[in-house]
Structure 1
Amino acid sequence: MPNTIQPFVLDIPQADLDDLKARLSRTRWPTKSSVEDGRQGPPLLKIQALVAYWAEQYDWRCCERLLNGWGQYVTEIDGISIHFLHIRSPHKEAMPLLMTHGWPGSVLEFRHVIDRLVNPTEHGGTAEDAFHLVIPSLPGFGFSGKPEESGWNPMRVAMAWKVLMQRLGYERWSAQGGDWGAMVTMILGQMAPNELAGIHLNFVPFQPTDAEVANADASEKSMLADAKRYDQEFSGYMKLQCSRPQSIAFSLADSPVGLAAWIYALFQDVSDSDGNPEWVFSFDEMIDDIMLYWLPNTGPSSVRFYWEAAQAMTDNDREQQKMRTPIGISMFSGEQVRLSRRWADARFDNIVHFAEHEKGGHFAAMEAPEAFVDDLRETFRSLR
């Protein structure tokens, strides 16, 4: 029934796992590229190592137990099923926090920060630092429904998230996001519903002005150089997904290795790993994330989100007024697109916390969970 919230328990049929293993065993591999240092994409030997582990040692049931243990739910909003984790803190005065993932992430992006946020007294914090967590899967991602009509863009998701928090009975709450989650969270901040206490971002979608480029100091010039490198070397996936997502959709749906390599490329290029994601993420962590695209066949629907967002962009979107909602910002050095404090001051009226970190990249909650949690605590300490 509409407006109801139902428990959701994962129990993937063994036949699906057997089919996956059979597909992995039949992989037809490409030859090595002429330059196997990552500049043409994931090196052959690295993907072969990941897939060998996937086929021979990986255990999906461990991930399944993890997700079921946190507590999963589904509810219908605006005609689509929304899957989400809802993890309540034992501290009754905890602040509700809505956390939104990006691509190629999932609710598992937050796996290393969930207990730190929910049970702060077990991780160097106080009861006053506690959060109740609501972590939804974006439409077309994970175990949320797949949109069958055009229009599911970040604005529509933000509206759905507002309904979700109301449906859960939260009268005052906060929000956090990176990647697409940052875009959705920024929209919530611009909407500024009465219930929203504040937001935190570990990625800020923005375009520097001509004046900012001309007057950049040494640190800002480094940021501009990294952003230029991202645009020229690493953003091919984004340009394709914004313009022709269906052209890659067939491969993502049919080939587990094709899907894995497409996702691995982002772990390689935008993590703080010098192009070696195995230094930062375990095989299990990377494969768990890939499985949340493979099992529900959301590789295709997730990349279409880029096209939907591109269709929704207008000049007005790029010239927003300064946001008044209280905000905390975390900039991690391995993030390819960063902004300085003074660039942030030009866009946000009420920055309650701004931090720059020497370690960590685009997947900050996985790469630098302690710093990530400390920044969230600092951001919302004065907003409770």
Structure 2
Amino acid sequence: MSANISNTKPGLVEPLKVDLSKNVPRMLDLVKNTKLPETSIYSSLGSSAGIDLNVLRQLQNEWITNFDWKSEEEQMNSHPGSYNHFTTNIEGLKIHFIHHRSEAAGAIPLLLLHGWPGSFLEVLPLVKPLVEQAKTSDGKDVSFDIIVPSLPGFAFSQAPPPTWTVADTARIFHTLMSDVLGYTTFAVNGTDWGSGIAYTLYEQYPATIRAAHFSMIPFIPMLHDQLTADNITLSESEQFQAERFAKFAATGTGYFVTHTTKPTTIGLALQDNPIGQLAWIAQQIIDWSDPRAGTGPSVLTYKEILRFTSLYFLTETFLSSLFVYSSNPNGFRTEYSKASTDAPLLYSNFKYNNTFFPPAVVKKVGKLVYWNDHEFGGHFPGVDNPPALVSDIRQIGSYWSSP
């Protein structure tokens, strides 16, 4: 059931400057004054029982000695190519978004959607390359107008009611693109919760959504025996990915259960605790990413993890971001069904993602026209392998047809 919503018409678009500097001294004081143990009887467990103590101490030390939020903020506001931040009001909610237009003719409007524990920061490395004109693999010119909204309850977007669903978010993002920004057709990209919103747009607005790209789909992946029962055979690389998902399903979903059933408990416990938020967020980012993260082509360094966490803490949205789980207990579907649309679906498969969907499974949910495997990258490809993700998204240009 959809949340109760306001009938307020979309409001004016207003520019936004990212300025959270007044909250930074207190955040850093809390970081400095948080005492972590020098050692622990559990240290021998490494990361098998959660975030490694040594890793957390390294992150804390870098936060204190080598992290400059002012510099990060300046990059968000005035990066070469300019990240243009705006807010608008849709159905009574203030929604933040980045809107960057290409100078090339015929640019494809593209909605880039993040998940948890991500934010708009997760896809910033994609913005400048995608607005520039380039070639698809078959030689077609392609460029994009890029729109990156913050999900309701994340960063600068207002927290929605506790019954707010991914379908509600899909609807207001459709309003953002169609009524506020004036696009008659557009493409979508999403991962994590962003994949659920993107897929809802893909299946519910076939006349408007004319292409979709995913690196994850909002369905529960099949385990190895289920794939076998469905006569789906796996390559050696795919078997590795299936085993990685099986391990995640067995030992990596504690955070999911907590967010879905008791979001206020963990949210309030960590709301004023930056090191606590860091431990909770960093564990997921590290576990779900390529173990080579931070080495080229990845830009997912400790600094990036600190940027993600700082944004949550400084905008005071850690608690509200968790409600995307409790508001959507069935947000990742158990039954596979195909969207009633002829719009092309493109998919990028990154080896170290924590979920795995072989091509035969992705074909069950949409018109799969493009599939690409990547040996490098994981759940956050926008920072873990941005060149590969940019290249794959550009292939939308080979299949784009606007009525």
The count of residues paired between Structure 1 and Structure 2 equals 377
Distance 2:128 2:250 in 1: 38
| 1:323–1:347 Cα contact (<8 Å) kept | no
2:73 pairs with 64, 67, 70, which one?
A: 64
In the TM superposition, what are the counterparts of 1:125-204 in structure 2 within 5 Å?
128-147=141-160, 149-166=161-178, 167-204=180-217
SS in 1 for 2:352: coil
In the TM superposition, what are the counterparts of 1:305-316 in structure 2 within 5 Å?
305-310=324-329
Residue of structure 2 in register with 1:365 after alignment: 382
**TM superposition shift of 1:101:** 0.3
1:54 pairs with 48, 55, 63, which one?
A: 63
Gaps of 5+ in 1: none
Distance 2:173 2:361 in 1: 28
Structure 1 residues 132, 198: CA separation in 2 closer, same or farther (over 3 Å shift)? same
Structure 1 stretches of 4+ with a deviation exceeding 4 A read 121-127, 277-280, 312-315
Structure 1 residues 262, 203: CA separation in 2 closer, same or farther (over 3 Å shift)? same
Structure 1 residues 99, 313: CA separation in 2 closer, same or farther (over 3 Å shift)? closer
Residue of structure 2 in register with 1:27 after alignment: 34
SS in 2 for 1:254: coil
Residue of structure 1 in register with 2:6 after alignment: none
Mapped pair 1:260 → 2:268: no
Structure 1 residues 37, 10: CA separation in 2 closer, same or farther (over 3 Å shift)? same
Structure 1 residues 103, 313: CA separation in 2 closer, same or farther (over 3 Å shift)? closer
Mapped pair 1:217 → 2:233: yes
| 1:94–1:128 Cα contact (<8 Å) kept | no
| 1:120–1:126 Cα contact (<8 Å) kept | no
2:18 pairs with 10, 30, 37, which one?
A: 10
In the TM superposition, what are the counterparts of 1:180-329 in structure 2 within 5 Å?
180-207=193-220, 208=222, 212-214=227-229, 215-219=231-235, 221-273=239-291, 277=293, 279=295, 280=298, 281-310=300-329, 318-324=335-341, 325-329=343-347
Distance 1:229 1:247 in 2: 26
| 2:43–2:52 Cα contact (<8 Å) kept | no
Structure 1 residues 369, 319: CA separation in 2 closer, same or farther (over 3 Å shift)? closer
Mapped pair 1:97 → 2:107: no
The residue identity in structure 2 corresponding to 1:18 is P
| 2:98–2:147 Cα contact (<8 Å) kept | yes
| 1:174–1:198 Cα contact (<8 Å) kept | yes
Distance 1:126 1:106 in 2: 33
Distance 1:205 1:12 in 2: 33
| 1:252–1:258 Cα contact (<8 Å) kept | yes
| 2:91–2:172 Cα contact (<8 Å) kept | yes
| 1:93–1:128 Cα contact (<8 Å) kept | no
**TM superposition shift of 1:234:** 1.6
Distance 2:185 2:324 in 1: 29
**TM superposition shift of 1:211:** 5.5
SS in 2 for 1:204: coil
Distance 1:346 1:72 in 2: 37
Of 96-105 and 204-213, the range deviating more from structure 2: 204-213
Give me the TM-score of the superposition, normalised by structure 1: 0.91
**TM superposition shift of 1:36:** 4.0
Distance 1:45 1:123 in 2: 44
Distance 2:332 2:77 in 1: 40
Mapped pair 1:353 → 2:358: no
What is the RMSD of the two structures over their aligned residues, measured on CA atoms? 2.4
| 1:36–1:44 Cα contact (<8 Å) kept | no
